[in-house]
Amino acid sequence: MTFLAFMLASALNGLGDVIDQPLTDQPGDKVAGKRIFHDREKGHCLLCHSLEQSDGLFQGNIAPELSDIGRRLTSGQLRLRIVDNTRINPQSIMPPYFRTERLVQVARQFEAKTVLSAQEIEDLISYLETLQGPSQ
C-alpha cells in the first residue's frame, strides 16, 4: 500500500493520528511508566531516544529527543505512536509495542502477545505527559 493510500485508509477507519480511547479502565501510573521507559527488558526507549530529564547513562540518538513530548503531543497521539508507530510512518524503525498482527519472525512463546501490556502502555503515557520541557 502506498503511504497516501495508507493514510486515507487510516482516516476512513477514523484512526487519524490518535487513539483517544484508553486501553484500560485503570488510569496510568506515571511512576510505573518511568520504570517501563527505562527498563531494558520492557520499553527500552532510550535505545533510540534521548531524554534530558533522564540520568540513564546510555541514550540513543537516532530518534527524537523527548524532553517536552508531553507538551508537543496529546495522550491520544502518544498512545497511537507507542501502540504502533508504523501506522503513521510505515518505514518507522520504532517497534510496535501493542500490535499482534503483521509481525514477522516471532518466537512461538510470543505469538499473539504484545511487547507491552495495555496497562504498561497507559503507564508510559502518564509518564510521558509529565515531560513538559527540560529544566523543571
Q: Which chain residues interact with ligand HEC by CB under 6 A?
A: 37, 43-45, 47-49, 62-64, 69, 78, 81-82, 85, 89, 92-95, 97, 124
Q: Which residues contact 57 (CB under 8 A, 6 or more apart)?
A: none
Least distance CB 121 / ligand HEC (angstroms): 8
Residues 17, 25: contact at Cβ < 8 Å?
Answer: no
Least distance CB 86 / ligand HEC (angstroms): 8
**H/E segment holding residue 12:** helix 3-12
Residues 128, 43: contact at Cβ < 8 Å?
Answer: no
Q: Which is nearer to ligand HEC, 61 or 135 (CB)?
A: 61
Least distance CB 8 / ligand HEC (angstroms): 19
